Structure 1
Amino acid sequence: MKPYIFLIAASVAFIACQNQDVKKKDLSVLVNDSTKFTNIQWIDSLKDIGAIEAGKKTEIKFRFKNTGTKPLFIISAEPGCGCTIADYPKEAITPNSEGVITASYNVNSGTTGDFRKNIHVTTNTNGTTSHYVYFYGSIKNAGDTTPGRKIDTAMLNALKSKELKRNLLLKPTKN
């Protein structure tokens, strides 16, 4: 009797995965169909999360608005490293509505120093379907009362610069 239960559970899981793949394929068509493009305004695309404690999980929210006339779809939100998980709206964002991409950053115990992370967001937007949001800060050990080192002004200006943003933040870091 037990083998049948396993077979049923495996079949249900397989069908559920197939449905998700179909939905993702349907949305990816939007990236190639310019008649369905809209506009996005990033309210938050660069976040300084300050000093965080090693071994703790931190949540970062990136807000955006559909400033176009057609529904906005977030096709994917892919973190640049395995220490970050991104969650994004799976439903359409109607014109003039806002949405949020939430990143969860998990720092291993014993890790310290400055960091910078990115999330690659794919949308059905005019100009480019590829967007990046960024967060940065420093990691301190538990009980450390000294403030984390801040990224200097020159680095912050470079992060804000569209030309340099991608080059600086897509380089691998040790975290």
Structure 2
Amino acid sequence: MKYQIILATALLLGACNRDKNEVGTEGMNAAATEASDAAANPTVDNPNVVSENEAVNPNAPVMKFAEEEFDFGDIQPGTKVHHTFTFTNTGKSALLIEDATASCGCTTPSWTHEPVAPGAQGKMEVQFDSHGKQGIISKQVAIRANTQPNITTILIKGNVLTANEQKAL
């Protein structure tokens, strides 16, 4: 992007010299348009995205969750709650979870570490620690596996009660 800005600046400075009309108005407009298009639409190389030219592996494992979101409802302050998400490998080869990371340190995932055969089920347990939290919470867990795409996201949410809300119950 720096090179595009430098190029656009050089073209504009060079075009300001009225003795040399080689670039012309059309050339300046084209260069400015190219520079602004590149700045507005930068290309990002994302290894998790299958390109148009790349075929999706038809034998890849597929992680299909029974539910992708769970609502704990009201959560007592200072408590730990957990939920077990169940998934099935609906693909044609063994599924292996490499890692699972939560969007917050208060959320801890644990999962099936053995390969999950086609048609078999695995589990992802998510624990939330409400200590020091209050109000509406929404936490994501990103699961990286040998699937396509290789990141699958599940969500937990709830409402950590305040001391006043807790007394009212």
Instruction: Return closer, same or farther for 1:75/1:36 CA change in 2, 3 Å cut-off.
Output: farther
More helix by share: 1
Please, which of 115, 121, 129 is the counterpart of residue 106 of structure 1?
129
Aligned-residue RMSD, C-alpha: 2.2
Answer yes or no: is 1:83 the counterpart of 2:106. Answer: yes
Where does 1:32-71 land on structure 2 (aligned, <5 Å)?
37-71=60-94
Unaligned runs of 5+ in 1: 1-33, 148-175
The structure with the largest alpha-carbon Rg is 2
Normalising by structure 1, what TM-score? Answer: 0.59
Please, which of 123, 137, 140 is the counterpart of residue 118 of structure 1?
140
1:61–1:103: 8 Å Cα contact kept in structure 2? yes
For residue 37 of structure 1, report the CA deviation from its aligned partner: 2.2
Normalising by structure 2, what TM-score? Answer: 0.61
CA distance in 1: counterparts of 2:105 and 2:152, whole angstroms: 19
CA distance in 1: counterparts of 2:138 and 2:168, whole angstroms: 20
Per-residue Cα deviation, 1:29-69 (whole angstroms, up to 9, x for no partner): xxxxx587211211121111100101000011111100011
Per-residue Cα deviation, 1:103-146 (whole angstroms, up to 9, x for no partner): 1110114x3211100000011113x1111000111001467165
User: What is the percentage of aligned positions where both structures have the same residue?
Assistant: 23
SS at match of 1:93: coil
CA distance in 1: counterparts of 2:110 and 2:127, whole angstroms: 8
Per-residue Cα deviation, 1:63-99 (whole angstroms, up to 9, x for no partner): 1100011101111110111001110111000111111
Answer yes or no: is 1:140 the counterpart of 2:166. Answer: no
Unaligned runs of 5+ in 2: 1-56
CA distance in 1: counterparts of 2:80 and 2:111, whole angstroms: 18
CA distance in 2: counterparts of 1:146 and 1:118, whole angstroms: 30
